[in-house]
Amino acid sequence: MGKISRFGLMELSRQRLRPALAETSYISCPRCTGTGHIRSTESAALHILRILEEEAMKENTGAVHVQVPVDVATFLLNEKRPDIQAIESRHKATILLIPNIHLETPAHTITRLRHDDLNSEEIREPSYKMVDAPIEEAIKLATQQEALKPRQEAVIKGVSPEKPAPIMAEKTVEVSTSAPVQADSGLFSKIFSWFRTSPKAVEPAPTPEPTRKPREGRKDGRRERSEGRDNRRGGR
């Protein structure tokens, strides 16, 4: 097995398993369907002529309606009119070309109608009313019709609640006003304030302690004892 060079490793490292974000954000062109090329007016007209003959060749075909861009319809009705008449006479089918201003080459619409479909149609619409409007305009018309519809009203009216909704009282915020600070009168007041002695705080008077009263009973007993001793001494 051979070795892979550095350049080969670099190329392998640059390979992506998934498409880049820029590639996924793009959409294919609605006209070219992603091919990058579209048919010219003449080429589109010839391609539609072939499809018309294929549809007219089918069994029980009464008419073929085709909607094409304006430039393609102009080319078919003027330059390719003999070819269209030859298809009609050859397959006994009516071909109706409807120029559509909403289409761009190579877009076209072909509708095949049978004899039963033609016989069931009582009143045939004129060709200019058969033009198919684009989907966006059809959506706009539908939304406008919905907007014009009357709004449905409630059957029961005048229903009031039993209790009114509670009203929340607003909280008043009290703003505390601070007392204004008196500004110093000047430099001299500061100097005099240094020499002034602050008044001494008055000390509270001490509460007198309760004096204990001597016990009278003991004194009387001592007196009686001393008198008794004196009487004894006098008797001797």
With a cut of 50, say whether residue 181 has pLDDT above it: no
**DSSP secondary structure letter of residue 68:** E
Predicted confidence (pLDDT) at residue 206 exceeds the cutoff of 80? no
Query: Which has the higher per-residue pLDDT, 103 or 153?
Result: 103
**Cα gap 177→71, rounded to integer Å:** 88
CB 59 within 8 A of CB 112: no
Q: Where are the beta strands (DSSP E) in 39-198?
A: 61-68, 94-99, 109-114
- Positive or negative CA dihedral for 111, 113, 117, 123? positive
| Residue ranges covered by each domain of the chain | 41-140
Q: What is the pLDDT of residue 145?
A: 62
Superfamily (CATH H level) for 41-140? Ribonuclease E, catalytic domain (3.40.1260.20)
Question: Reading across the β-sheet that carries 61-68, which strands appear in turn?
Answer: 94-99, 61-68, 109-114
Does pTM top 0.85 for this prediction?
no
pLDDT single digits (tens) 87-145: 999 999 999 999 999 888 888 999 999 888 887 766 678 888 888 887 765 566 666 66
Residue 36 in tokens: 């990058």
Who wins on pLDDT, 82 or 217?
82
